[in-house]
Amino acid sequence: MDISLKSASEIEKMRTAGALAAQVLEYIEPFVVPGVTTEELDDRMNDYIVNTEHAVSADLGYEGYPKATCISVNEVVCHGIPGPQHLHTGDIVNIDVTVLKDRYHGDTSKMYIVGGKTSIRNEQLVRCAQEGMYAAIRTVRPGANLTEVGEAIQKIADKYHFSIVRDYCGHGIGTGFHEDPQVLHYRNSNDLLLEEGMCFTIEPMINAGTWKVKVNKKNGWVVTTADHQPSAQWEHTLLVTSDGVEVLTLRKDEDFPRVIHNS
């Protein structure tokens, strides 16, 4: 495994890319309303990334991916391709944005509840995925074992009686979109000791029913739950600091610290 440790100047670039990715999710929030199409949202975000942020989407053209963002609605787990589909009240929607600025990547996603209300089960699913991500972030510090990430999320998913997707994981990030290490979101023995200067994502996908997923055969991208029950995901890009963790993609709407000192 070849894990890059970021220098001070690289960390500055990661902070900038992370902030730009977070700002896209803040910017799009008022437009995520009943009736809008996911393609309209994607067009707006691409326009914002290019013309306001003077950056580019890392998704567009990545291994042939056709759009600037991923928009995953209800039973879509990840890699939802924006299109003519309209959003409806009660839909739960993940928007995942990866911005490339000055050669460095910032990768983040959040859940939106269309029309502000959904079923209690959907609300619990969205909350479980966010709680799991936050609990996992709190384990990150130099000397911590990467197994703690999966352990933290597993405990929360078990509490809610939901399942954790196993086929997709978090990843190192930097000049590469997906670098080493792989970050598993379920209980595992993939041990690796974290070091200051590592950057990686934590992005748990939580399913209401089975953890099993299927990839759309026609487009090769869109991942749905095998049982068509809903799925939720949140994602942050993180930096291991000298004594804890910094959330590089934190948004203003979050009630969570940007920097945690925990060693």
Residues 188-217 that bind Co ion (CB under 5 A): 201
CB of 61 to ligand MF3, least distance (A): 8
Tell me: does residue 200 bind ligand MF3 (CB under 6 A). no
Return d(Cα 59, Cα 26) in angstroms, integer. Answer: 18
Amino acid symbol at 126: V
Closest alpha carbon to 197 in 162, 155, 257, 245: 245
CA distance 246 to 197: 10
52, 62, 143, 243: which one contacts ligand MF3 (CB under 6 A)? 62
Cβ nearer to ligand MF3, comparing 143 with 176: 176
Binding partner selected for residue 79 from ligand MF3, Co ion, none, CB under the kind-specific 5 to 8 Å limit: ligand MF3
User: Of 96, 131, 179, 246, which one interacts with Co ion (CB under 5 A)?
Assistant: 96
**Roughly what angle, to the nearest 10 degrees, separates helices 147-160 and 120-137?**
160
**What is the identity of the amino acid at 109?**
S
Q: Which is nearer to ligand MF3, 10 or 59 (CB)?
A: 59
Of 79 and 141, which CB lies nearer to ligand MF3 in the complex structure? 79
Q: What is the CA radius of gyration of the chain?
A: 17
Cα(5)–Cα(216) distance, rounded to whole angstroms?
Answer: 36
- Residue 175, phi then psi, degrees to nearest 5: -70, -25
70 binds ligand MF3 (CB under 6 A): yes
Q: Is 59 in the site for ligand MF3 (CB under 6 A)?
A: yes
Q: Which of 53, 91, 107, 179 binds Co ion (CB under 5 A)?
A: 107
Q: How many residues bind ligand MF3 (CB under 6 A)?
A: 11
What spatial distance separates the first Cα and last Cα of the chain, rounded to whole Å?
A: 25
CB of residue 193 vs ligand MF3: minimum separation in angstroms? 23
Q: Which residues ranging from 7 to 46 are in contact with Co ion (CB under 5 A)?
A: none
The answer to whether 245 and 200 have CB atoms below 8 angstroms apart is: no
Is 235 near ligand MF3 (CB under 6 A)? yes
Task: Give the whole-angstrom CA distance, residue 103 versus residue 92.
Answer: 32
Q: Which residues bind Co ion (CB under 5 A)?
A: 96, 107, 201, 235
Q: Which residues bind ligand MF3 (CB under 6 A)?
A: 59, 62-63, 65, 70, 79, 96, 98, 107, 203, 235
